[in-house]
Amino acid sequence: MMNIFVSGGIYLLEVHRILRPGGFWVLSGPPVNYEHRWRGWNTTIEEQRSDYKKLQDLLTSMCFKLYAKKDDIAVWQKLSDSSCYNKLSNPDVYPPKCDDSLEPDSAWYTPLRPCVVVPRPNLKKSVLESMPKWPERLHVAPERISDIHGGSASAFKHDDSKWNVRVKHYKKLLPALGTDKIRNVMDMNTLYGGFAAAVIDDPLWVMNVVSSYAANTLAVVYDRGLIGTYHDWCEAFSTYPRTYDLLHLDGLFTAESHRCDMKFVLLEMDRILRPNGYVIVRESSYFIDAVATIAKGMKWSCHKEDTEYGVEKEKLLLCQKKLWYSSNQTSS
């Protein structure tokens, strides 16, 4: 387990920042259940008792409460009542409040901050309490969509229905989609997570990637109950090599080809795509042809298809990464 007391508990302050009001944090391991486990931790029971008390005091000072504890697992809940944060005025007892001028949702090249991000005072009730329960929340426009430039409930509804139509078409062209042949999927430049929502009943999971240079829609992705992250596709993606069975992109090169060379993005896609994995590229006709040329050099097997509406200005390229070895590779 990480040292939770480093720099005044800065890691727990980051946990607090990314957790919704009313959300939960689960700890399994030291110092939980120290009474029975301390002998295997190369420590003393007194040291572990002290660590557990410091942990409790730190979490309490950050407006967490102990929700449940059993055996080696303890669960804390971030309080929904913002009045708890009124006492965060004595830095000798409580962590200081973050400067209100700082953007609490910033996450790209942003250092950890030794302060508490206080929930907005105009929140009359917990975000968790205000949103529909799963799975209804998947298809209901979150309140925070109004914080996004151009975002609205009608735009969300249109995006949701659009992806239902698109995914049905994808499955006709790629029968493996919806089967156990495709388990790990990345939507490389999602807007609201529409692709992931359309395949929610399939035996797979989707990593929704919001481009760090596009609209900041990650809040909507999470409010729907989906998972996601930011990324700049001019840089390498932080993942174990050969992780995904399917990569999907919609207009990424049209939007960002001016920032970095397209071939480097495709090489990064090849790195994180498993052998025999699939790629669905949805792009303008110009970029589809350019991608097909580079993909041939990477020994992908590709074929061009029409979109669900058969328009000429937009095409689909379906590819499969082949399992191959270079001619100079020798067996051991």
Q: Measure CA 325 to chain center.
A: 33
For residue 4, the model assigns a pLDDT of 62
101 and 50 share one domain: yes
CATH number at residue 148: 3.40.50.150
Q: Would you say residue 64 lies in a domain?
A: yes
Q: Prior bond to 31 cis, omega within 30?
A: yes
Express each pLDDT in 282-330 by its tens digit.
999 999 999 999 999 999 999 999 999 999 999 999 999 998 776 665 5
Provide the domain limits for residue 296.
136-321
Claim to verify: residue 175 and residue 99 sit in the same structural domain:
no
Same domain as 150, residue 37: no
Instruction: Give pTM, 2 decimals.
Output: 0.85
Phi and psi at 316, nearest 5°, equal -115, 145
pLDDT at 126: 52
* Same domain as 28, residue 169: no
Considering its fold, how many domains does the chain have in total?
2
Residues 107-131: tens digit of each pLDDT: 677 888 888 888 766 554 555 566 7
Q: Is residue 244 part of a domain?
A: yes
Q: Which of 101, 128, 155 is the last residue of a domain?
A: 128
In-domain check, residue 1: no
Burial (CB count within 10 angstroms: exposed 0-12, middle 13-18, buried 19+), residue 109: exposed
Query: What is the model's pLDDT at position 332?
Result: 46
pLDDT at residue 124 in the model: 47
User: Can you give the pLDDT at residue 169?
Assistant: 98
Residues 231 and 276 in one domain: yes
Determine the residue type at 278.
Answer: Y
Same domain, 18 and 124: yes
Query: Is 330 within the bounds of a domain?
Result: no
90 domain-assigned: yes
Same domain, 313 and 181: yes
Q: Is residue 327 part of a domain?
A: no
Among 255, 196, 239, 245, smallest CA distance to 221 is for: 196
Q: Are residues 268 and 183 in the same domain?
A: yes
Q: Say if residue 119 is in the same domain as residue 141.
A: no
As a whole number of angstroms, the distance between CA 238 and CA 222 comes to: 20
Give the end of a domain, one of 108, 128, 148: 128
Q: Which of 39, 26, 29, 37 is nearest to 1 (CA)?
A: 29
186 and 298 inside one domain: yes
In tens digits, the chain (332 residues) has pLDDT values of 456 666 668 889 999 988 988 899 999 988 898 888 888 788 888 988 988 998 998 898 888 999 999 999 999 999 887 778 776 656 566 678 887 666 767 767 788 888 888 876 655 455 556 678 899 999 999 988 998 988 999 999 999 999 999 999 999 999 999 999 999 999 999 999 999 999 999 999 999 999 988 888 999 999 999 999 999 999 999 998 889 999 999 999 999 989 999 999 999 999 999 999 999 999 999 999 999 999 999 999 999 999 999 999 999 999 999 987 766 655 54
**Going by C-beta distance under 8 Å and a sequence separation of 6 or more, which residues neighbour residue 210?**
189, 190, 216, 217, 218, 221, 228, 229, 230, 231
Which of 128, 154, 175 delimits the end of a domain?
128
Q: Are residues 177 and 75 in the same domain?
A: no
Domain check: are 251 and 314 in the same one? yes
